[in-house]
Chains A and B, each alone.
Chain A
Amino acid sequence: MPPLMTSRYDLERFGMMPNPAPRMADLFLITGYVTPKTLKRIIITYEMQPDPKYVLAHGSCPLNGGVYWDAYNAIKHLDRYIPVDVVIAGCMPRPEAVMDGIKKLMEMIENGTADGWKRYKENYEWYKKNQDELFGEGWREREARRWIPWLMDKKKKEE
C-alpha cells in the first residue's frame, strides 16, 4: 500500500485518492490480516458506507488466512462476514497487482457484476449468522459498553 500511494507508483494520477471518512467512500481496501477485533470495526465501517460500495481484499490473509492459518486471532475467510468483490492473491501483492485489481473492479462495475452490496442486503441473515457465531450475539452493544464500568470507576474516584 505505501509504495502504491507514494511517488513511485502514484495512484493519484489515476484519480484514486484515500478518503478520510467512510460516509463518503466507494471502495473499502482490506490490506492485511483481519483479527476478530478489527473485523468488528470493519463491519461497522462497511455498514456506514453509502451504497453502492465495493470491497477489495488485499493479499492472501483475508482470502484464506495466509501464514496465519493456525493463529487463534486472525479470521480465515473474510467473505463469510462481509461480501468481497475482488480478491488480490499474494503475500504481499505487488503494487501492479493492486492496480490491476482496481482496474478489474472498474470493469466489473461497468458490466454490473460488482454486486457485493446487493448480496449483503439479500443474504444479510447468513452474514449476520456468521458474525454472531464468531462474536456471540449482541456483540455491537457489548463492544459499545465494554469500557463503561472502567470509565465509571474512574469518574467515581475523581468525585
Chain B
Amino acid sequence: MANGQEEKGGVKEMTEARWKREQALVQKILEKAPYAEGRVRRERRIEFKVPADRIRDFLTLLKENNFELMLQITVVDWLKEGEYELVYQMWSITHRTHAMVKMRIPRELDKARMPTVKDIYPVAETYERDAHDFYGVYFEGNEKMEMPWILDDAEQGLFPHRKDFDMLSYVKKKYKILDRFDENKDNYVI
C-alpha cells in the first residue's frame, strides 16, 4: 500500500485518497461480517461495533485482513447505562490504519464475561489480565486470569477503576489520615 503515487499530490488530495481507501477497507471487511457495523472516523482511523459474542470471529477476520498488531484492550465504564464498553485497539502496518473494535457487555461482575482472544493475538493475554484486575471483566479461556498481576493483595477483587468504587473513603480507611481528607472545606488541610 505504501506506493509512491499518492505522495506526489498535495496534502488535500492525499487526505481524500486515504479517506477513500479507508472506506474501501471498511466495506471489504463488512462484506464478510454482516453482523458488524463500521465507519471511517477520519483518515487512518476506522471504527467497528460488534456484538460481544462474535468478537472471536471478527478478530480472526481482521487478522486475515492484515491487522497485525493488537495495541491495547481498553474498558470504559458507562455507569448510568450499566454497561462496560470494551475497545480492542488494532493496528495495521500494511494499511497504516488504526481500527477500534467496540462492543458492550453488562457491567455486573457475574455477567461481565468475554471469550478470550489469546489464541488469535497472543499479546491479548496481558491486556485481558489488565482489564480483569482493574474492572473485573472475566475472560473465559485465559488460564492466567486468577494469577496476581499489577494490583497488590489489598486491592485484589475490589476493581478500583470501576466508577462506583468509593475511592475517598477507601483511601481514608487504608492510610488512616482522616482529618486531611475531610469533605468539609473548613477542615481542608491541603
A contact set with B: CB distance below 8 Å:
35-37, 69-73, 75-77, 133-136, 142, 146-147, 150
Of B7-15, B57-65, B173-181, the segment with at least 4 beta carbons within 8 Å of chain A is B173-181
Number of interface residues of B (CB under 8 A): 19
Q: Once the chains bind, are A76 and B175 in contact (CB under 8 Å)?
A: yes
Contact A36 B171, beta carbon cutoff 8 Å: no
A72 touches B160 (CB 8 A): yes
Contacts A36-B154, A77-B175, A146-B148 known; 12 new A-B pairs at CB < 8 A: A37-B152, A69-B180, A69-B181, A69-B190, A71-B167, A71-B171, A72-B170, A73-B151, A73-B152, A75-B175, A133-B176, A147-B148
**B148: chain A residues within 8 A (beta carbon):** 146-147, 150
Distance of A150 Cα from B190 Cα, bound (Å): 43
A37 to B170, CA, bound (A): 17
Does A76 contact B177, Cβ atoms closer than 8 Å?
Answer: yes
- A-B pairs with beta carbons under 8 Å apart, 8 shown: A37-B152, A71-B167, A72-B171, A73-B152, A75-B175, A134-B174, A147-B148, A150-B147
Closest A-chain residue to B189, C-beta based?
A64
In the complex, residue of chain A having the shortest beta-carbon distance to the beta carbon of B151: A73
B155 located at the interface, meaning its Cβ lies under 8 Å from any Cβ of chain A in the complex: yes
Whether B93 is near chain A, meaning CB under 8 Å from some CB there, is no
**Chain B facing A: main interface SS:** helix
Closest to B181 in A: A70
Closest to A66 in B: B190
Contact B171 A70 (CB under 8 A): yes
- State whether the Cβ of B186 lies closer than 8 Å to any Cβ in chain A: no
Residues of B within 8 A of A77 (CB): 175, 177
Q: Report if A36-B152 is in contact (Cβ < 8 Å); known contacts: A72-B160, A72-B170, A134-B174.
A: yes
Of B153, B176, B177, which is within 8 A of A142 by CB?
A: B153
In the complex, how many angstroms separate the beta carbon of B144 from the nearest chain A beta carbon?
8
CA distance A134 to B154 in the complex (A): 9
A73 to B181: give the CA distance in the assembly, Å. 16
Q: Chain B nearest CB: distance from A41 CB in Å?
A: 12
Please, how many angstroms separate the alpha-carbon atoms of A76 and B190 in the complex?
Answer: 12
A21 to chain B, nearest CB (A): 26
Expressed in whole angstroms, the minimum distance between the Cβ of A22 and any Cβ of chain B is 22
B24 contacts partner chain A, Cβ-Cβ < 8 Å: no
Taking a contact as CB atoms under 8 Å apart, the answer to whether B177 and A70 are in contact is no
- Chain B residues within an 8 Å CB radius of A35: 152
Asked if residues B190 and A72 are in contact (CB atoms below 8 Å), the reply is no
- Complex alpha-carbon distance, A129 and B152, angstroms: 19
B120 within 8 A of A: no
The answer to whether B177 and A72 have CB atoms under 8 Å apart is no
Task: Give the complex CA separation of A27 and B15 in angstroms.
Answer: 56
B155-175: which have CB < 8 Å to A? 155, 160, 167-168, 170-171, 174-175
Per the bound structure, the CA–CA distance linking A134 and B173 in Å amounts to: 10
Give the shortest distance, in Å, between B176 (CB) and chain A (any CB). 7
Contacts of B170 in A (CB 8 A): 72
Contact A73–B155 (Cβ < 8 Å): yes
CA distance A150 to B147 in the complex (A): 7
